[in-house]
Amino acid sequence: MAATAPPFAPTAAPARIAVASCAIALGACSGAARSAPADPAAPPAPLAPLGYDEVSRWLCRPDLAGDPCHANLDATELRPDGSRRVVPFVAAEDPAVDCFYVYPTVDVGMVPGNHDDFRDTTPMAEVVRSQAARFRSVCRLYAPLYRQVTIAAYFEPEPDRSRHFGVAFADVHAAFRWFLAHTNPNHEIVLLGHSQGAEMVTRLLRAEFDDDAVMRARLLVAMPIGGDVDVPGGKSVGGTFARIAACTDPDQRGCVVASRTYRAGRPAKSWDGPPPAGRTSVCVNPADVAHNERRRLSGAVIPTRSMYRFRETMPGGDWATTPFLLIRDFYEAECVDGKDGFRYLAVEAAPAPGDTRQNPIDFDNVVWKYQLGLHLLDFQLAQGDLVQMVARKAANR
């Protein structure tokens, strides 16, 4: 039976989306704009970090059986011949890898500050389930709650913006220190984060890994997806990090996988300004890490139900019995040059001859044409490749 599905698109009206590029589709944003760097004289964060000994401070942890990462993660695969099959999710039994994930912006309030009300964690649960939970097939997953900055905080003047980002990072850093104290020191570490979460991961890499050879030896890979990472032109190290390189080989360890996703064939530029002069954005093609040839992504994983991020009917939402759709070898990806040193992952539906599938995501919807491009799909389109990347690196110990 041929798979048919309605467009995958947020319901936010274009006028609302245009209020700020960071707020597209109730979306997620990365760190502070490059055009206004943090004031080194800004006062330290006035609030003490949250206490992560409390179970309530965690979204996901291996010992929390009822957390969103332990929910049903089965997927319905849409196959090239039009048939469908359910692919059960299988978690790793005793992985020697620990993953630490930081979620993107979910607080779209237009009052600058930090999100400190955790009575309703539905938005965080939804995004961790869709972006990170499937990494449980290769690692033990930890995901803390944190007092992230609101959308409005991105547009604050300094030093207020730096202070609010400082509060967010103080929480993430405290959670990571708890993580280090309560996980096996012989396990390798994977850092995962999207957008604002990618900014937090970038700060963690600077604070804990870049100057510490022992910690760098434990780092399997870091994935600050949808964030800002740059290197000097033509190099794989330098720029954002002094010693941690961008991944240039699928078996490379202790490196960074970063990218921002836009539709192929549409000129793109960074929403928060270009990289510093002489630098280029890091873009690692998950479909071909070593050579960056245009290749098909191995498996996009799209949620079929949503209460928060996407309000319209999701693809397969009216017929699928599983919470996800799996679409293998359908989207092609390649890192390309944008403007002023900005490089991005260009993605397009590219069914092979005889493939009867239609794109369940309406890339022609106006939502995907704004400055953030396919930002909300950064993790979803490449999820199969990102998980496989972790598995491959872990297998080559």
pLDDT tens for residues 189-235? 999 999 999 999 999 999 999 999 999 999 999 999 999 999 999 99
Q: Note the pTM of the prediction, 2 decimals.
A: 0.90
CA distance 54 to 150: 24
Determine which of 1-10, 170-179, 317-326, 367-376 has the lowest per-residue pLDDT on average. 1-10
Q: How confident is the model at residue 39 (pLDDT cuts 50, 70, 90)?
A: very low
- CA angle at residue 173 from 279 to 229, to 5 degrees? 10
Kind of pairing, strands 58-60 and 140-144? Answer: antiparallel
Q: Which segments of 103-149 are extended strands (E)?
A: 140-144
One-letter amino acid at 334 equals E
Q: What is the mean pLDDT of residues 4-30?
A: 35
Q: On the CB side of 15, how many CA atoms lie within 13 Å of its CA?
A: 0
CA distance 30 to 230: 14
Q: Which segments of the chain are extended strands (E)?
A: 58-60, 75-78, 84-87, 97-102, 140-144, 188-194, 219-225, 230-232, 255-256, 261-263, 279-281, 295-296, 300-303, 324-327, 331-337, 343-349
The residue with tokens 């890091």 is 282
Interacting residues of 129 by C-beta distance below 8 A, sequence separation 6+: 68, 69, 71, 73, 303, 323
| 197 CB neighbour count, 10 Å cutoff | 31
Q: Are 136 and 92 in contact (CB under 8 A)?
A: yes
* DSSP SS3 for 60: strand
Share of the chain above pLDDT 70, in %: 87
Is the pLDDT reported for residue 118 higher than 90?
yes
The H-assigned helical ranges of the chain are 14-17, 122-131, 160-182, 196-204, 213-218, 378-381, 383-395
The residue with tokens 């960071």 is 22
User: What Rg value do the Cα atoms of the chain yield, rounded?
Assistant: 20
- CA angle at residue 179 from 388 to 51, to 5 degrees? 135
Q: Are 374 and 221 in contact (CB under 8 A)?
A: no
From first CA to last CA, the distance across the chain in angstroms is: 43
Determine which of 1-5, 114-118, 122-126, 213-217 has the lowest per-residue pLDDT on average. 1-5
CA distance 141 to 211: 25
